[in-house]
Amino acid sequence: MTKSIKLAKKMLMQKNSIEKIHEITEVSIKEIERLQTEIENLKK
C-alpha cells in the first residue's frame, strides 16, 4: 500500500516539475521574441 502512495507522489512531483519547466520555457520564448523585436527596432 505505501509503495503505491510513494509512486503516486513521485509521479505527481515529476508532473509538477515538467509543468514548471514548460512555464519557464514559455516565458523564455516570450522574452527572446521581445528582445528580437527591440533589436529590429534599433536597426531601423
pLDDT tens readout for residues 8-32:
899 899 999 999 999 999 999 999 9
DSSP state string for 2-43? HHHHHHHHHHHHHHHHHHHHHHHHHHHHHHHHHHHHHHHHHH
Longest CA span, the chain: 66
CB atoms within 10 A of CB 15: 10
C-alpha distances (whole Å) from 14 to each of 5, 11, 34, 36 are 14, 5, 30, 33
- When divided into structural domains, the chain yields a total of 1
> Please, which pLDDT band fits residue 44 given cuts at 50, 70 and 90?
confident
**Grid coordinates belonging to 24:** 519557464
